[in-house]
Amino acid sequence: MDNTPSISVVMPTYNTPLAFLKEAINSILNQTFRDFEFIILDDCSTDDSVAYLHSLTDERIRIIRNVENLGITKTLNVGLRAARGKYIARMDSDDVSLPERFEKQFAYMESHPNVVMCGSRIEKIGVESGYGVSAIQDMELYRTRMVFCYPGPMHPTIFLRRETMEKNQIFYDESLIYSQDYGLYADIVRYGDVYFSPEVLLRYRTHSGQVSTTKRETQIRCAKAVQRKLLRQLLDDLTEDELDMHYKYSSGYLPDITIDPEIEAWYRKLEAANLEKGIYDPAKFRQSIVFVKRRLLLHSFPRLSLAGKAKLCFRYLPAVDALKLLIKQR
């Protein structure tokens, strides 16, 4: 008899507040879809969560405790290597999966063999409230958008096809302390499609200072490392100054950045490189550039008259896109 589970749930934890940890674990154990193994990866916790984890008796739970603190990226790879299921579901130790999450993601993946990863919309809980926005459904647009910014889905919502991961030796890049999901998506999207469920399947817990000022520089460095890999597919030579400029203008993480001729020249260079190498659909690539430039233009607008806005829009955008943006800003 084959005892291989349909799903391997991979959840790292390190000194997670006990109330949050219990809620996260119970949300998995109470799923309507019950054929899974639950791999809980304890990265050398030192608090009362250790005793709680060892008190769990559900036979689907497998606890792996690292012999030393590895950090989240290496710990996630421990989980990927331990997984035996047909699919791998990510979970964070302070979030809450809704009861039908696995049932719905499993059914979708079973009926769409071309899809290698699916995620879902989120509801924010904690210090923030609200819902995550729906993501791009057009796959080629998704692939091009990735060159410019993190495209989603939110990491703890993802559901992966393990066969694709194993066949292509896809793991998290252990040089990335942060943005490990961005790096993973950039790799896996080469082997199939990604689906975003418009339904909320996970409640995502927000904390004050989730990425502190002291960690911000490291997060930026990691995101730029992913972009470097993608840009080098287009450009034979890429300088650090070019990479810095690309991240600064394209990521959307720096809201005070405005459009200027230098970044317009950079995007023209990228478009020309893509036309030469044929990596992305040219129309979709341009659409992603227009998306970024629209955002930059909006940042440039606050002190401008309508005439000034019009001058900027028609300078940097195709006429149709310029008109659309101006109409929205009137």
Q: What is the secondary structure of 308-327 as a DSSP string?
A: HHHHHHHHHS-HHHHHHHHH
Q: Please say if the pLDDT value at position 111 is more than 60.
A: yes
Q: Please say if the pLDDT value at position 209 is more than 80.
A: no
Q: Are 39 and 8 in contact (CB under 8 A)?
A: yes
CA 56 to each of CA 17, 38, 264: distance values in angstroms, whole numbers, following the listed order: 16, 11, 57
Contacts 24+ apart (CB under 8 A), 213-221: 215/178, 218/177, 218/178, 219/178, 219/179, 220/247, 220/253
| Band of pLDDT at residue 127, cut at 50, 70 and 90 | confident
Residue linked to tokens 């910014």: 149
**Domain chopping of the chain, boundaries:** 7-206, 213-329
Q: Please say if the pLDDT value at position 88 is more than 60.
A: yes
- With H, G, I as helix, E, B as strand and everything else as coil, classify residue 22: helix
Comparing 215 with 65, which gets the higher pLDDT?
A: 65
pLDDT at 211: 54
Residue linked to tokens 């499609």: 193
pLDDT at 1: 43
- Could you tell me the two tokens for 185? 């998506």
CA 226 to each of CA 30, 35, 177, 291: distance values in angstroms, whole numbers, following the listed order: 36, 35, 12, 20
Q: Are 161 and 110 in contact (CB under 8 A)?
A: no
DSSP 131: E
Superfamily name and number for 7-206? Spore Coat Polysaccharide Biosynthesis Protein SpsA; Chain A (3.90.550.10)
| Band of pLDDT at residue 162, cut at 50, 70 and 90 | very high
pLDDT tens per residue, range 42-53: 999 999 999 999
Tell me the average pLDDT across 181-197.
95
Cα end-to-end span (Å), the chain: 67
Q: What is the dihedral of CA 198, 143, 326, 315, to 10 degrees?
A: 180
CA 156 to each of CA 120, 259, 266: distance values in angstroms, whole numbers, following the listed order: 9, 34, 34
Distance CA 213, CA 197 (A): 32
pLDDT tens per residue, range 128-152: 888 887 777 799 999 999 999 999 9
235 phi, psi to nearest 5 deg = -115, 130
Q: Please say if the pLDDT value at position 302 is more than 90.
A: no
